Amino acid sequence: MKAIVCNEFGPIETLTLEERPDPVPGAGEILIEIHAAGVNFPDGLMVRGEYQVKPPRPFTPGSEVAGIVRALGEDVARFAVGDRVVALPGIGGFAEQVVAQAGRALKLPDGMDFETASGFMLVYGTSLHGLADCGRLQAGETLLVLGAAGGVGLAAVEIGRAMGARVIAAASSDEKLALVKAHGAEIGINYTTADLKTELKRIAPGGVDVVYDPVGGALTEAAVRGLAWGGRLLVVGFAAGEIPKLPLNLLLLREGEAKGVFWGTWTAREPAAHAAAVKRLFDWVASGDLKPHVYGAYPLERTGEALAEVMGRRAQGKVVLVPAR
Ligand SMILES: NC(=O)c1ccc[n+]([C@@H]2O[C@H](COP(=O)([O-])OP(=O)(O)OC[C@H]3O[C@@H](n4cnc5c(N)ncnc54)[C@H](OP(=O)(O)O)[C@@H]3O)[C@@H](O)[C@H]2O)c1
């Protein structure tokens, strides 16, 4: 099979497309013929050796796929050959086939196409877990989403809206803000042309109840200064590249909370809650409350380009890879 290979940690440009042996499922595993693979920010960090998970080299990146089950390992009863699935293999997804733990895969609803599905579970799963479990977001509350046109950001905008919150979306361009408004944000803040702290004071003088922050850097403190009494900061990621340091008096003065969100580990620790959350998400897609946005679909040969769109701040919503068939 064809697979993208990272022979050593380094720039995305060092990835190569190679011929590799077809994978064989072991006990508890399924072999998936990949029809689409989601491109996620952590995939790029992993290639650069900057992610908390550092696989032995060589490895094939790609943490999220959608496709068809082609073979079953021993002791797999939940799936049959021919099932349409989404799976989180961790690595190996930027290829024509991958082996995944059956417990890290779910059957796809009939109405969901592979491209949409491959970019769905990680970002929508993270944002639902963040907003509902970690942030305890309630209907009628105000939610601020930073990096709102990115993968997890756009998912948080849609989920926040579906949960009945008033959503303020913040992003770096008016074009990105137009997209997030089309996906349910009530108000947009362009933090390239306006000061986030000043704008928040004007738009939400009483403060925002939840801040969803996948960006970090200087924006985090500005957002925390806009928290309401009892407000919650959700620490999701640091796409800006800088892990912010926060004056804790800002939390004391508001009885505020800062809460980490680590979806991947949570899904492994709480598989039943994860399955229930995914069902809730699929139901929202079926009812039209969520409309996942695929920004671009690239062939495997153009994986570097696809990753560069995500890491270079240009992508809106999801970028996916589609192996040729
Ligand atoms: N905690 C978890 O469980 C979890 C799960 C998934 C992802 N994450 C993390 O969440 C973050 C976002 O992931 P994602 O998949 O949504 O990525 P993404 O689609 O690339 O979105 C990231 C957003 O961050 C903003 N950004 C600001 N400065 C940036 C910079 N220097 N480079 C790139 N983007 C920058 C961009 O929005 P503007 O241009 O509008 O500023 C961009 O849209 C990553 O750090 C990722 O590792 C965490």
How confident is the model at residue 214, as a pLDDT?
A: 98
Which residues lie below 8 Å from residue 117, measured CB to CB, with a gap of 6+? 36, 66, 86, 108
How much distance in Å is there from the Cα of 51 to the middle of ligand 1? 13
Segment 78-98, tens digit of pLDDT? 999 999 999 999 999 999 999
Q: What's the pLDDT at 84?
A: 98
Query: Is 265 a residue whose pLDDT tops 80?
Result: yes
pLDDT in tens, 171-191: 999 999 999 999 999 999 999
Output the average pLDDT for the chain: 97
Place of tokens 């977001």: 137
Question: Which residue owns the Cα nearest ligand 1 atom 5?
Answer: 126
What is the structure's pLDDT at 324?
87
Q: Whose CA is nearest to atom 14 of ligand 1?
A: 151
| pLDDT tens per residue across span 288-311 | 999 999 999 999 999 999 999 999
Q: Residues 101, 28: contact at Cβ < 8 Å? A: yes
The residues, any chain, with a CB within 8 Å of residue 116's CB and separated by 6 or more, are 292, 294
- Name residue 166's beta-bridge partners: 142
pLDDT of residue 325: 74
CATH code given to domain 122-264: 3.40.50.720
Ligand 1 centroid to 153 CA: how many Å? 8
In 3D, which of 116, 111, 181, 121 has the Cα closest to residue 149?
181
Mutate to test the pocket of ligand 1, among 144, 313, 320 (most ligand atoms within 8 A of CB): 313
Query: Residue 273's closest CA among 156, 128, 98, 71?
Result: 128
Q: Whose CA is nearest to atom 29 of ligand 1?
A: 240
pLDDT tens-digit map of 16-45: 999 999 999 999 999 999 999 999 999 999
CATH for 2-120+292-321 (3.90.180.10, 3.90.950.10, 3.30.390.10, 3.40.50.1860): 3.90.180.10
SS (H, E, C) 190-244: ECCCCCHHHHHHHHCCCCEEEEEECCCCHHHHHHHCCEEEEEEEEECCCCCCCCC
Each domain of the chain, given as residue ranges in start order, spans: 2-120+292-321, 122-264
Q: What is the pLDDT of residue 47?
A: 97
Supply the pLDDT for residue 142. 98
42-67: average pLDDT = 96
